[in-house]
Structures are given as C-alpha cells and as structure tokens.
Amino acid sequence: MEYFIKLFLSGTAKGSIYALMALGYTMVYGIIQLINFAHGEIYMIGGFTALILGGFFFSKGMPVSLVLVFSILLSIIYAAAFGFTIEKIAYKPLREKPRLSALISAIGVSIILQNFVLLSQTEKFLPFPNYLPEFSWLLPYRSYINSTQLIILITTAIIMVLLTLLIKFTRMGKAMRATAQDMHMAQLVGVDINQVISLTFVIGSSLAAIGGVLICSYMGQINYYIGFIAGIKAFVAAVLGGIGSIPGAVLGSFVLGWTESFGTGYVSSDYEDAFAFLILIIILLIKPDGILGRSRRQKV
C-alpha cells in the first residue's frame, strides 16, 4: 500500500508538470486549431531566460527570494514576447491557408528556436539552480513528495482555476470562445480576432514559461532540446483529456502521469513513454474526443 501511495503521488507530481504545459497547448489549439509544436520551445526558452537572468541577479548579490521572483517574472515576460512575435511572423500569414501549412510552419519555428538557443548558448546540459523554497514541515514526508513537487501541484491548480474564470466570466474570455467557434462570425460581430489570438499566445507562452522554470528547478538541468519531448507529452495529455478543454487538459495530464508512474512501478521502467502512448490509444478508442471532450464544435 505504501508503494502504491508513493507511485500515486509521484504520478500526481508528474501529472501536474504535464498539466502546466498542456494548458497552454490546449488554449492555442482551442482558438486556432493549431498543433503548436513550438510550445515546447517556448517552455525551453522560458527556462533558459530564468537560468541566465537568475544567474546574473544572483552573481550581483541579490537575495534568493528576489532572484526567484525576478527571474520568474522576466522569463514569463520574455516567453510571452516570444510567443507574440512567433504568432505574428509564422502563423498569422497562414491563417486562411490549409491547416497543414500552419503545422509545418510550427515545426519550422520549433527547429529555428532550438538552433537559436543551441548556437547562442550551448549544446551541453546545464545544471539548473533550484531557487524554490524548501518547506521544513514537509521534510518528514520527503520520500512521498518534496517541496518543489508541491509547489508545482499548487501552481497548476491555481492556474487552472484562473484560466477557467478568465474564459468563463470575462469579456475577453467570451471573445475567445467566440473566436474558437467561428473566426469570421466573431469578426463580424466586432471581436478583434488579432487581439484575441495574440492574447491567447501570450497567455499560453506565459504558462509555458512558468512550467519551464518550475520543471527545470525540479529536474535540476536544462538543455536546448528539452522542449521537444515535453511538448509532445503535453500534447498527448491535452488530447487525452479532450483537446480544447481546460479541465480536460489537467485531467488528461494526471491520467498520463499516473499511467507512467504505475506502469514503471509495477511493470517495467524501460517502457515509461510507451505506457503513456498506449493509454492514449486505449482512451481514444473508447472516447474518440478525449475524456472530457464533448462535441467537436465546442472548444475552449
């Protein structure tokens, strides 16, 4: 039983990590039906920005708590700026074109950003300092869950609630839902869809940056390539839960995390990713629209 709880908690922690990324994925997909392959790269850039700026502040003798706040804030701003710029350059000219074009463009952006970081920084794995606070009251339970994991879990929960509130109850959220349903119709009734799409990318990229900083703190290392695999996992999680649905993305991420955790714990650790993909196929066979996905028209 203890083993089971351990696996369950490690799966939960893993799931909340995926959820941080999957939320951004699902938002962008919900609005413009684009599998944004570059999302993982934004996450990586968020992590790198935090590493660089955090390292700079730290070397200037700033206290750790301030370093943490500033590096997270700045990495969010930078990631959001990257997301905004990418949308303007690589996706906006393709809005009226077949959907495959935008997908290829996204893959292109992903290649460019990877190599941009590879060429300007390094191809090596860099150690990532953990500036996150350590809770002393959690120490006795350290073998179950550590502070960083708890922080990730709580952050995911807060973000999910905030996003749901934003989309359900604000004016902007209404505009987003309208754009998701029918872009031209939304334009016709006076929604500025350029603004809506830009904002979606800004929010999605900010979430990726938060994810980047937290996950890199947890993993303790960073590399130009981490974004690609993380992006694929997040996409799987988002689809699992029903892409376009915000609670779905979170639920899908947890299902993915638990599957991987129990699969590696009880069956074999060699096939960690295979379990993730297997559960995806099985769930899509039973519910072709994902766990919480309803009819195809309803998005975000």
Partner 1 sequence: MKARSILKDIGKSLIIAVWFMILFFPIMVMKVNVTRGVAHINFRWNVLPLIGIGAFVLSFVWTKALEWNERRTSKKKIENGLINNRALNGRYLKNPALRPLILLLVFGFTVAFPFLFGMYHTNVMITAFIYVILGLGLNIIVGLGGLLNLGYAAFFGIGAYTYGLIWKYIGPSFIAAGLNPGWLFWISLPLAGIAATIFGVILSLPVLRLRGDYLAIVTLAFGEIFHMVMQNAGDLTGGATGISLIPRPWFLGQKLQPSEAATYIYFIALVFVMITIFVVRRIEDSKVGRALEAMREDEVACEAMGIDMVKNKLITFAVGTFWAGIAGVLMASQTTYINPDSFTLWESIMILMAVVIGGTGSIPGVIAGAILLKLLPEYFRPLAQYRMLIYGIAMILVIIFKSDGLIPRKRKQYTFTEKELAK
- How do 126-127 and 221-222 pair as beta strands? antiparallel
For the bound state, the minimum distance from the C-beta of residue 169 to partner 1, rounded and expressed in Å, comes to: 28
Query: Closest by alpha carbon to 249, among 286, 177, 299?
Result: 299
> x-or-dash pattern for partner 1, window 84-113, by CB under 8 A?
-x---xx--xx--xx-xx-xxx-xxxxxx-
- Is residue 218 classed as helix, strand or coil in its secondary structure? helix
Query: Closest by alpha carbon to 68, among 210, 221, 223?
Result: 210
For the bound state, the minimum distance from the C-beta of residue 9 to partner 1, rounded and expressed in Å, comes to: 25
* 264 in contact with partner 1 (CB under 8 A): no
Tell me how far CA of residue 142 lies from CA of 127, 133, 162, 280, in angstroms.
Answer: 22, 14, 29, 31
30-59 positions binding partner 1, by CB under 8 A = 33, 35, 45, 48-49, 51-56, 58-59
The nearer residue to partner 1, 2 or 270, going by C-beta atoms, is 270
Tell me how far CA of residue 285 lies from CA of 94, 240, 279, in angstroms.
Answer: 32, 11, 10
* 294 in contact with partner 1 (CB under 8 A): no
- Retrieve residue 231's tokens: 């992006």
For the bound state, the minimum distance from the C-beta of residue 183 to partner 1, rounded and expressed in Å, comes to: 17
Taking each helix axis from N to C end, the angle separating 226-241 and 39-59, rounded to the nearest 10 degrees, works out to 130
Which of residues 174, 232, 265, 298 is near partner 1 by CB under 8 A? 232
The nearer residue to partner 1, 25 or 258, going by C-beta atoms, is 25
Taking each helix axis from N to C end, the angle separating 2-32 and 226-241, rounded to the nearest 10 degrees, works out to 90
Q: What is the CA radius of gyration of the chain?
A: 19
For the bound state, the minimum distance from the C-beta of residue 128 to partner 1, rounded and expressed in Å, comes to: 9
For the bound state, the minimum distance from the C-beta of residue 164 to partner 1, rounded and expressed in Å, comes to: 23
Q: What is the DSSP letter of 270?
A: G
- Retrieve residue 4's tokens: 């089971």
Which of residues 64, 69, 70, 116 is near partner 1 by CB under 8 A? 116
| Residues that bind partner 1 in the complex, under the rule CB under 8 A | 29, 33, 35, 45, 48-49, 51-56, 58-59, 74, 78, 81-82, 85, 89-90, 93-94, 97-98, 100-101, 103-105, 107-112, 114-122, 126-127, 129, 232, 235-236, 239, 243, 270-271, 273-274, 277-278, 280-281, 284-285, 288-290, 296
